[in-house]
Structure 1
């Protein structure tokens, strides 16, 4: 069972990370296009600024699960280094529970924002609902829950390994 959960978590976190990378590529490409249209063609594309903002929001919320998974998001480094194996497991559990609580709030509030924002249109893209921007919070939150559970089952402390 543990192995199946970790496999699912691996693929889910990889999917979220790929999505975050894709959003960074989109934001970069749109930024370049905005420079071309504004300074070379001299006819700025207003819609690019809004889409850059949306892609950066999605990038952040899809990138957070990787930070949780590798143990770089919420950590108690000093206590972790000073403690024994049993206390480390207790710290992992407490940090995971606190992170899950926060992420569950983000999912609930994010879904409420998305539902309420569905009646709003995006300035510059009047045919697009704000639902799609706000949806980043609950979607990223669901990926975070999977990553937090994966980190609790198989803790990785990559930030401790690279710290001096």
Structure 2
């Protein structure tokens, strides 16, 4: 049996290795397939990273390893999409792509939030936004992205916004 403190250390180590392997594998696939074609390889990238980490000690501490991977796959996909779009829009268009969080957007968070809000009556509702593409001068949001791994999540989101 592993102590809570040891499990916490193992989780931290696992997450660091996951981020490192994901970045390393993405960059290798970019070199092999080119930036334009790498998006077609996201599933392969995620499978390769899972394979590389399948014997990590942290996974031994979990009751349901598969559920843990399901949760992480969404984050992996979001990172891959953000990295890919960010690289492409910055290199080709001079734009920025960032997660829709205060930490990622810093001083631009309120400006982005104001532009992505949907007005319903007298209330402003922020849709489920994972990533935003924007230009800084003059400031404007050009695209919002919601990254969903499961089709069911996408259907529920479309249904919600259609009714509203």
TM-score by length of 2: 0.32
Output the TM-score relative to the length of structure 1.
0.32
Q: Compare relative contact order (CA 8 Å, sep 6+) and give the higher one, 1 or 2.
A: 1
Computing the radius of gyration from Cα coordinates, the structure with the larger value is 1
Higher helix share: 1
